[in-house]
Structure 1
Amino acid sequence: MFHKIKDYFTHEDKKLRDDRWIFLSMLVGAIGSLIAAFVLSVEAVELAKNSHAVLSCNFNAVLNCGAVGVHPSAHLFGFPNSFLGLIAEPVVITVAVAGLAGVKFPRLFMFVAQICYSLGLIFALWLFATSYFVIGALCPWCLLVTATTLFVWFAITRYNIRENNLYLSPSVSKWAHRWVEKSYDKALLFTLVSLLVGAIVVKYGNALF
């Protein structure tokens, strides 16, 4: 069994191997986000009942889901933001599983998926910035959502660039292909993650350790 799994992800066809790792990244990231969304949804219900409820992830003044959960940004559309994750992540999981099974998606479908997930990434980064600069507290589950959203966005973007799903001009498409072929996108991903972690440590390091 382990040999089959190893052979599946180390296929001699570079493009096929890359596709499988892309969809695996999407699957793991979406599952992580779905778990976080579920926990945050349960805690949102608890906070709705009692705004002073002590949540399981209230570790201290900095790592405090409760402080983040009662802020207006936590229910920007009139309901807990985590409900959006409960709706969106199963779709991403379905796409990832289908991709691992070798399904070829229509160009327009993946283009729309790129737009939707780009909006999701912008929203996740905005929520992180709000927690970091305005609330002054961080929600561990929200941090997981931010991280997994970044990973999934870079995975789907890499796939869409390689498959020419983004309707880019020939010159831009050529540049983007060269970018992913040299794995600059992966370098950028880990740079962004390092910057986010560094920003947290710089501002809240004393409270965290």
Structure 2
Amino acid sequence: MGAGRVFSLFVLLAALVGLAASAVLTFDKLRILEDPSYIPSCNLNPVISCGSVMRTEQAEVLGFPNPLVGLAAFGALAAIGAGLLAGAAYRRWFWLGVQAGTVVGVVFVHWLIDQALYEIGALCPYCIVVWTTVVLLFWYTTLHNLRTGVIPAGPRLQVVVREAARYHWALPVLWAAVIALLVLNRFWYYWSTLL
């Protein structure tokens, strides 16, 4: 089962953005492991502080740095996107695997968002890029799989899917607005000092 050119290009470009952010995070994490006094370039203030995030146990959920998962996952998705652009047609089981991977990814990044906001108390700009990329990949992969029948949808659900595809931008914009409001609320004590 192939995919349209726009979706294929989106998967490739989104995966490359996620891969780049994961690469920077991996580089900075390795530098911190080599030299605990290393200060990443994205340490801007008490709230936007990659180093604070990277030094927590949440940054190594599986026992190794989380960005290594990003390198593997985004690398695989970039290959899938390139394959789609070249005309590859993947079977249903393959798309279900991609769907499962994006579901795991979106659950994981929302846990990380919660941890960053309410446990760690700091934000990492590259992590935010990864969060956004994962959410977009999940959303557009889900739409693709519903529209192409990979995920079965009856006639009523197909109406919803068509409308969701028509206004495909609405859910990602709503998600970004909710996250922005949560960040604004959580760190208002700091943002208000900048006014």
Match status 1:87 vs 2:72: yes
Question: What residue ranges of structure 1 are gaps of 5+ in the alignment?
Answer: 1-15
For residues 189 and 148 of structure 1, the distance between their equivalents in structure 2, rounded to whole angstroms, comes to 10
Q: Which moved more, 1:180-189 or 1:89-98?
A: 180-189
1:205 CA displacement: 4.8
For residues 53 and 176 of structure 1, the distance between their equivalents in structure 2, rounded to whole angstroms, comes to 52
1:27 CA displacement: 1.8
1:207 CA displacement: 3.3
1:206 CA displacement: 5.8
Match of 2:183 in 1: 200
Matching residue within 14, 21, 33 for 2:6:
21
Identity %: 26
C-alpha distance 23-175 of structure 1, shift in aligned 2 (>3 A):
farther
- Map 1:7-156 to 2 at 5 A: 19-156=4-141
Match status 1:179 vs 2:135: no
Superposition TM-score, scaled by structure 1 size: 0.83
Coordinate RMSD, CA, aligned: 1.9
Superposition TM-score, scaled by structure 2 size: 0.89
1:159 CA displacement: 0.8
- The answer to whether the 8 A contact 1:164-1:173 is kept is no
SS in structure 1 of the partner of residue 89 of structure 2: coil
For residues 85 and 188 of structure 2, the distance between their equivalents in structure 1, rounded to whole angstroms, comes to 39
- The answer to whether the 8 A contact 1:20-1:100 is kept is yes
For residues 22 and 173 of structure 1, the distance between their equivalents in structure 2, rounded to whole angstroms, comes to 23
For residues 122 and 75 of structure 2, the distance between their equivalents in structure 1, rounded to whole angstroms, comes to 28
For residues 119 and 83 of structure 1, the distance between their equivalents in structure 2, rounded to whole angstroms, comes to 15
Q: Which moved more, 1:154-163 or 1:139-148?
A: 154-163
For residues 24 and 205 of structure 1, the distance between their equivalents in structure 2, rounded to whole angstroms, comes to 38
